[in-house]
Amino acid sequence: MPPMPASKEKTSISVFGLGYVGCVCCGCFAELGSRVIGFDTNTTKLDLINSGKATILEDKVDALIGKHVATGSLAATSDAQHAVWNTEVSILCVGTPSTEKGHLDLECIFDAAAMVGEALRQKDDFHTVAIRSTVLPGTNRKVTEIIEERSGKKSGVGFGVVSNPEFLREATAVDDFMHPAHIIIGDGCEQARQSLKAIYAGIDAPIREVSTEAAEILKYVNNAFHALKISFTNEVGRICKETGIDAREVMSLVVADKILNISPYYMKPGFAYGGSCLPKDLKALKTISHDNYVTTPIIDSIRYSNVSHIISGFRLVTGFKKKNVGIIGLSFKPGTDDLRNSPTVELVEKLSGKGYWINIFDRDVEFSALAGKNKEYIDSVLPHLSVMLNERLNDVVDQSEVIVVTKNEDGLSDLVSRHPEKVIVDLVGLAGIADHPNYHGICW
């Protein structure tokens, strides 16, 4: 195990909620050198902490709680005001369970915010509040409003609220806390961000200052991704078992590829996938599972997800109610003239089917050079492609009311900046055109 970071005296912290996350925070922040006061509405948890015991069964936490209660750097209180008045930062780690109907119950976090707000009414010094619980986007704003209302102070002046999600896993919580992939600090005022950075000094991990909403949604996205990975891997496992293949060997090869598989590749929000390989090979894997009576809902639904994305692109373009649409880039990716299963071809097909007038520029696609399966494909889905293709980027921009960008082109940003009245729909996330007044990204 890597060594614990060295400790030194620093910012005092109150931890609201002494469950899994709060108890680990108490032990770890004390270990990092802060003086910590724990607060919980459950008095049994307060008694446990004050007798030097963890409130949870978790490796290494008991030892940290015992050590720091003994030295006096950690104590628990039933008095929320005392906790706030005697610390510079309050970290909210209260529960955010699901209601019976499946909604998130944020009552505890709003109650904790109210308690902090009440206490701040009679505190002169600036106070930082960090939301460590997993909460829906928009919660930071609501917590800020509650504290403003209860304290009579202005956010950014008397106090600041930052979003600081926790990513620890039970059973390895202390190691996860001390050696995180990164520390996320979602917005808040400068003073609040600085005091939060100070309490993490000693942890060797990048601090990422991001928007509040990105910090709030991140934990949900991470956990959905983890659940997806587990379920996808188990679907592969079931297919492999039925076909006499060792899934452990297959998945160890999948994760060994750090270039295309375990990497940022294919993980940039943008337009739908396409081309001659992904759709075909996905179909083949689906067929193998079907033929072997293996149920694989995730693998089966990937294509539906992709089709929904093409439809959302179509709705974005048609939402402007302008009939002349220019398309920059038609093949499924830059540097190829392969039009087979290009999502842009599907988009063009839908638009022209609805009577839109389409003008296409793609420097990789020369109509007379299309041949073989590529030509057969395009003749079947876009028989009038030759009249839509235009060799000059300028002409396409000039003649279109809506310009849909699927590939970067030299000079494109200058060209569109001369036409502020045109609508720009960016399907790939290009640099240099986002400041256009009528710019719309597909996922941003």
Ligand X SMILES: NC(=O)c1ccc[n+]([C@@H]2O[C@H](COP(=O)([O-])OP(=O)(O)OC[C@H]3O[C@@H](n4cnc5c(N)ncnc54)[C@H](O)[C@@H]3O)[C@@H](O)[C@H]2O)c1
Task: Point out the residues that are catalytic.
Answer: 277
Rounded to whole angstroms, the Cα distance separating 110 from 40 reads 14
- Spatial CB neighbours of 406, under 8 Å, sequence gap ≥ 6: 271, 327, 328, 329, 330, 344, 427, 428
Q: Is 93 in the site for ligand X (CB under 6 A)?
A: yes
Among 64, 112, 405, 433, binds ligand X (CB under 6 A): 112
# residues contacting ligand X (CB under 6 A): 24
Among 13, 18, 239, 345, binds ligand X (CB under 6 A): 18
Nearer to ligand X (CB atom), residue 22 or residue 279: 22
The two tokens of residue 27 are 């032990």
**String of contacts with ligand X for each residue 360-379, x by CB under 6 A:** --------------------
In the chain, what is the straight-line distance between the N-terminal and C-terminal CA atoms, in Å? 40
Which region, judged by CB under 6 A, interacts with ligand X, from 13-21, 250-258, 288-296, 368-376? 13-21
Q: Specify the residue, 166 or 426, whose C-beta has the smaller distance to ligand X.
A: 166
Q: State the CB neighbour count (10 A cutoff) for residue 175.
A: 16
In the set 33, 52, 66, 95, which binds ligand X (CB under 6 A)?
95
168 binds ligand X (CB under 6 A): yes
Cα(31)–Cα(67) distance, integer angstroms: 9
Q: Which is nearer to ligand X, 80 or 358 (CB)?
A: 80
DSSP H helices in 19-172: 20-31, 43-50, 61-71, 80-85, 107-120, 139-151
3-state secondary structure (DSSP) of residue 47: helix
Q: Is 186 in the site for ligand X (CB under 6 A)?
A: no
CB of 232 to ligand X, least distance (A): 22
Given the complex with ligand X, which of 31 and 40 has the nearer CB atom? 40
**30: closest CA among 79, 80, 68, 71?**
68
Minimum separation from the CB atom of position 304 to ligand X (A)? 30
Residue 124 near residue 92 (C-beta atoms within 8 A): no
Which positions from 31 through 60 interact with ligand X, judged by CB under 6 A?
A: 39-42, 45
User: Judged by CB, which is closer to ligand X: 173, or 412?
Assistant: 173
Residue closest to ligand X when measured from CB atoms: 19
Contacts of 44 (CB under 8 A, 6+ apart): none
Interface residue with ligand X, options 133, 139, 289, 359 (CB under 6 A): 133
Per the CB < 8 A criterion, the answer to whether 217 and 184 are in contact is no
Residues near ligand X (CB under 6 A):
16-22, 39-42, 45, 93-96, 108, 111-112, 133-134, 166, 168, 170
